[in-house]
Chain A
């Protein structure tokens, strides 16, 4: 970073961007993921039997909806160079809360509100420990991963609550009239638009990137580092609770061990979508495409009767390749900047 700043004034008079527009749009991680997604869809349509049925869309959206939802706040958290490993446990805790509330005769809207509140409190606890107490988010959320899951399983044991009102379970599973797209797509798209606007078009969003690039610099530039992170962890808790409500109603079953391990799918998709684990880089359209890419690939491979351990291997290889790919790009960029610095001395008048 310091190299660029030192070299830039000498090398060019004033050039806002080093590369032309088409390169800046096409040669990004996000575009690569979107291109990969389109190619996988095209190849699957041409070669995989039954992939072209409308059911593919329905099942795909129902399957990846919780991941899509939680990936939104997770991406923002990772951009600030933090992580939230407790999201799947919050899904489990939300599932149990909703189940117990319904079992106790609480009307559904109130039960949903209560569940979202539990998510908010869980997220606030994470945020408090990270921003006020000042502990690293990795350690805190590994702890709360165990804590929230422990409470969830402790409350329900190995039993399940399954008697949810049919109106609400139908709401979770029904399609938008005349399309194969489930209703859950509406809140997903809505949240995606809101999160994108906040991240990419508000000072709060700029602050998120600034924190990820350099926390101290962000602080001295007037970004409320603690408050921003606290807000993100609370958001993560609430969205995870919402995903938990959907998960529970979709499967019609509240269990303490619901969605175990989901946090890894979410983080994998976020990283595949081009968000840097070192913070400061990433965009939500890439994350959206990353989740879809893993989902579409999985559904195409399952339809081809590929066994699930092979599917895991392919997803893993894809993830490693995408990380290696972005490192190569960064390496190339550094080499180019270094070379230009060398060039700059002899050509300067």
Chain B
């Protein structure tokens, strides 16, 4: 009997230990987290960055720019975000920011409408909302920081290719898919720019690599065979320019045929270093985050309301003006070349 009692006691003890371990795990984690929560508050400007997802080098760069700005004007910077960029995964983070009374939320939207209701509730609670990189419907935010205008994107690529081929000769465009709206808008603007300001450059063909690495690679090979006098290729898509660079770097045309377009430093680094590509363009995500943080501060301080014509100072980037629909344009695209590519990691 006594033995049996002992065994029961042991079972109870094991059960108790199990429960305690479970509780300790949950209890500790909350308590540990609780300590960090106390850092904010008290009239301070708190700015929370909410990227599409965490662990994305592009947003790591933009958030670093945002943090630099927030530290410059003495606010409190926070970065939160979901691990996956699904349409609704940002909602709980928006709700949390609203509950914490965050002064401003700087967000790159995963979906233009699904997070709208949560953003509206946050704004009703007094939080200013700035979108960057990817906008929501205009009614859900105060300001959108647009990375680049279509005109700016078209012009910088034409300028780069003109410079690289001595402003004369045949060029071709390697685009994404034939029905990509933004690509077609850029191509049309590039044609206008070429006709207006570069009469000696002839656009001989536009081919489509469907934003697929292998297809883009094959299209590049075909272009070079079809047009033996081709002087340069413009690829306004990050997949296309990387595939074209990969083809050129191993071909006889390396250094003979110029290549430029829109690319990311990490994809293009080896081709810039081996001389296949001289320069390419994109916006600078760090500047994008920096500007978004200053816009958020201007909204919080009441310097601007997001009306067209409002102006605000953005630290090292200078003065900016709010355009139609509450859109602020970052400026001309950024040129990456052998001198500065080492400064970027995205």
List residues of A whose CB falls within 8 A of some B CB: 19, 23, 27, 32, 35-36, 39-40, 43-44, 46-50, 53, 55-56, 59, 63, 160, 162, 169, 173, 247, 250-253, 255, 257-261, 293, 297-309, 312, 314, 317-318, 321-322, 325, 328-329, 332-333, 336, 339-340, 343
Contacts and interface: CB of A to CB of B under 8 A. Distances in A.
A173 B117 contact: yes
Interface residues of B, number: 55
Dominant SS at the B interface? helix
Interface of B: 3-4, 7-8, 10-12, 14-15, 18-19, 21-23, 25-27, 29-31, 33-38, 41, 54-55, 78-84, 86-88, 91-93, 95-96, 98-101, 111-117
Contact of A40 (B26, B82, B83, B88): B26
A160 B111 contact: yes
9 contacts: A27-B15, A47-B37, A50-B100, A160-B113, A252-B117, A258-B88, A306-B29, A309-B54, A309-B83
Q: Which of B87, B91, B114 has the most CB of A within 10 A?
A: B114
A252 B83 contact: no
A251 B114 contact: yes
Contacts, number: 179
Given A35-B23, A251-B91, A258-B87, 20 more contacts: A27-B12, A39-B23, A40-B30, A47-B31, A47-B34, A49-B37, A55-B95, A251-B87, A253-B113, A300-B34, A304-B36, A305-B33, A305-B36, A305-B37, A306-B36, A308-B83, A314-B29, A321-B22, A321-B25, A328-B14
A55 B33 contact: no
Contacts of B101: 50
A331 B2 CA distance: 22
A309 B88 CA distance: 17
Nearest to B29: A314
A301 B86 contact: no
A299 B92 contact: yes
A43 B27 contact: yes
Contacts of B112: 160
A235 to B, nearest CB: 25
Contacts of B86: 257, 260-261
Contacts of B33: 48, 300-301, 303-306
B217 to A, nearest CB: 25
Contact of B25 (A48, A50, A317): A317
Contact of B93 (A247, A300, A302): A302
